[in-house]
Structure 1
Amino acid sequence: MTSIPDNAPHQCPGTQSEDAGKASACAGCPNQNICASGVPAGPDPAVELIKNRLANVKHKILVLSGKGGVGKSTVTSLLGHGLAKLNPDLNIGILDADICGPSQPRVLGVRGEQVHNSGSGWSPVYVTDNLSLMSIGFLLGSPDDAVIWRGPKKNGMIKQFLSEVDWGDLDYLLIDTPPGTSDEHLSLVQYLAGAGATGAVLVTTPQEVALLDVRKEIQFCRKVGLPVLGVVENMALFVCPNCKVGIYCTGRKRR
C-alpha cells in the first residue's frame, strides 16, 4: 500500500511510488528530497521548533485571497493598526509572507529599516510601541531587487521567519500571504500545525472574477482544516467619478 506523509500536498503520489519526489505535485513539498531519496519520511522537526517559538503568540491569523490586487496587504495593515490602537496593552505582530512581492514595509511606512540578529533570533521592526513587522523586504539590498526563487527556497524562508523571529509575547500575529493556494500557503499551514493557527480572514472585491478565486480559497481552507473567521469585501462602496457605476465601471463618461 502506498504511504502518504501526513503533511503531504494534495495528489501526493506516495513514498512507494516511482514518481515519489518527481511528480508535479511534489514541487515545493517539504518532503520532496526525502521521498526522492527513498528514505521514509518522518515528522518535520521544524513543526516542533515553530511550536516552541510561537508558544507566547495567542492568536495566529492568516490573511488570504485567491486573487491579487484586492487589498489584502492594506487590510492586514489596517487590521494591525486597528488592534494596536484599540488597546495599547495588546501586542500585535505582522509577518509579510509574500516573498516575491513584499509590500508591508512600504504600506506601514518603515521601508529602509534593518532587521537585527541576536542570540534570541531576528528582531522584528517596530512600527509603533505595540506593532511590529517582519518582511523579506528588510533583507533585500534595494527595494527594486527581485526575489527570483523556486518553491523550496520560498518555503525555507517562511520556515525561517516562523522559527527564528523573536516576536516575544504577542496577542495577535497577522500573516499577510501572496495570492493563490500553493507553496507558501501549504507551508504556512503545515508549519503552524503544531502551534495552532487561529483561522483565516479572506479578502475579496465585488467583481465576479475575484469572487471565483476567493471561493477556491474557501475550499482550500476547508481541505486543510483552517477555520474561516470572516470575509472582507474591499472597495464595495467605491463609485467611479466618471461613469458613476461603481466598481464595475468601464472608466468612460456617460453621455
Structure 2
Amino acid sequence: MTDKAAIEALLAPIAAGRASVRVDGSRASIILDVTGLPPAAQDALEADIRAASLPGIDEVRIARTAQRIERKLIAVASGKGGVGKSTVSANLAIALARAGRRVGLVDADIYGPSQPKLMGIEGKRPEAHDSKLVPLATAYGVPLLSMGGLVEPGQAIAWRGPMAAGALGQLVDANWGAAETLVLDLPPGTGDVQLTMIQKHRPAGAVIVSTPQDLALIDATRAIDLFTKAGIPIIGVIENMAGYACPHCGEVSDPFGQGGAQAAAGVLGVPFLGRIALDIAIRTASDAGTPPAAGNGPEGAAFIEIGRQVDEWLRANGG
C-alpha cells in the first residue's frame, strides 16, 4: 500500500507545496490550492499531477480550492472628461506594480474605454473561465480588463445606466488571480457607474485628477464631495497638464493655469499628491502603448512618485 507521505513526496516537485493528499487504498484524493494562479496555470498544474506516476494508485481525485483574496480598490476619478484621468490610471497601476504590489487595472470608463491602447493590447479579447472573465496580460505586469476588449473597435456603447453598472460588476468580479490591488479608471462625472461602484464594490480610497483650470476644479470638487459623502477616503488630488516647457526654447508656460488643484486640495482639506506636466513625451508614449511609468525617463518620474505616495497610503490603511 502506498502511504500519504510517499505520494506527497512524489508530488512535491510538481505541486510546490500546493497539494494536500489523502490515500484510501488505491485511490488518492488531492486538495489542490490554486490561490493566485490564473486559470491556464491551474489547468496545467492539475494535468501535470494526473500525468505523474504514483505507484499503487489506480484512481486520482482532485479538488481545487483557493483562499479568498481581500482586494483593495483604488478609484481614479474626475469631475469632467479630458483631464488625463485614464493616462494617470494606467501609470499609477504600473507605478504601484513597480513598488512591489500585485496590481490589476479595470477600465471602468464604460462609454469611452482607452486602456487597451494605453497599455499596448489593442485588438486582444479576454476569455472567460468558469463564467468569469480572465484579465489580459500586459507587458508591464499589470493585467487589464476593459470594455474596449469586449466590443468591436469604434463601436459605440449606447447603454442605459443599469447595463453599464452590470458591465462594471463583470469587470471587477473577474478572475484577478493574485492581484491584491485593483486600480479603477472611472468615467468622468458622478453618475450611475460611480454610484454602483461605491455601493457594491466599496473602494478603499479615491484619487481625484484635475487640470489647474477653474472649470475642471469646480467639477473635481463635485467628485470629491461624492466620495466624501459616501464615506470613501480621498487619497489625494493630482494636478495634471500642469505647465508646458517649450522643446525649442525651454520657456515654461501654463496654458491651463498653475497651482489651482493644490490650492483646492488645501481648501478642501485633502492631500495633494503632485503635478504632472503637459509633456509631449507623455502623449507620444501613451499613444504608442508604452506608459512613461514603465520606463526610466524624466516624464515618468512624477507618476512613480505619486505611486509611492499611494502605496504608502495603502500600507498605512491596512493594505
TM-score relative to the length of structure 2: 0.56
| Structure 2 contact 243–252 (Cα < 8 Å) conserved | no
C-alpha distance after superposition, 1:122-164 (max 9, x if no partner) = 11001136310000111112x111101111111111122223x
Aligned letter for 2:241? M
Q: Given that residues 57 and 170 in structure 1 are in contact (C-alpha distance below 8 angstroms), is that contact kept between their aligned partners in structure 2?
A: no
The gaps in structure 2 that reach 5 residues or longer are: 1-65, 258-319
* Structure-2 separation of matches of 1:113 and 1:150: 26
Give the structure 2 partner of residue 38 of structure 1. none
SS at match of 1:131: coil
Equivalent residue, structure 2, for 1:115: 126
- Give the whole-Å Cα distance in 1 for the aligned partners of 2:67 and 2:147: 19
Where does 1:129-208 land on structure 2 (aligned, <5 Å)? Answer: 130-141=141-152, 143-163=153-173, 165-193=174-202, 197-208=203-214
Higher normalized helix content (fraction of residues) = 2
String of CA shifts for 1:29-61, please: whole Å, max 9, x gaps.
xxxxxxxxxxxxxxxxxxxxxxxx994143210
Amino acid at match of 1:246: D
How many percent identity over aligned positions? 39
User: Would you say the 8 A contact 2:244–2:253 is kept in 1?
Assistant: no
User: Superposition pairs for residues 1-255 of structure 1, below 5 Å?
Assistant: 55-87=68-100, 90-119=101-130, 121-128=132-139, 130-141=141-152, 143-163=153-173, 165-193=174-202, 197-239=203-245, 245-248=253-256
- Match of 1:41? none
Q: Let me know the Cα RMSD of the aligned residues.
A: 2.3
Structure with bigger RCO (C-alpha 8 Å, 6+ apart): 1
SS at match of 1:203: strand
Amino acid at match of 1:104: Q
Give the Cα separation in 2 of the matches to 1:129 and 1:174. 14
Larger Rg: 2
Q: Tell me, what secondary structure is at the counterpart of 1:174?
A: strand
| Equivalenced residues, count | 190
Check whether the contact 2:94–2:141 (CA below 8 A) recurs between aligned residues: no
Deviates more, 1:147-156 or 1:230-239: 230-239
Paired residue type of 1:107: L
Q: What's the secondary structure of 1:125's corresponding residue? A: coil
Other structure's SS at 2:158 match: coil
Distance 1:128 1:149 in 2: 31
Tell me the CA shift for residue 200 of structure 1: 0.2
- Can you list the C-alpha shifts for 1:91-114, whole angstroms capped at 9, x where unaligned? 110000111100000011111111
* Equivalent position of 1:20 in the other structure: none
Structure 1's unaligned 5+ residue stretches are 1-52, 250-255
What residue identity is the alignment partner of 1:247? P
User: Deviation of residue 171 (structure 1)?
Assistant: 2.5
| 1:93–1:133 contact (8 Å) kept in structure 2 | yes
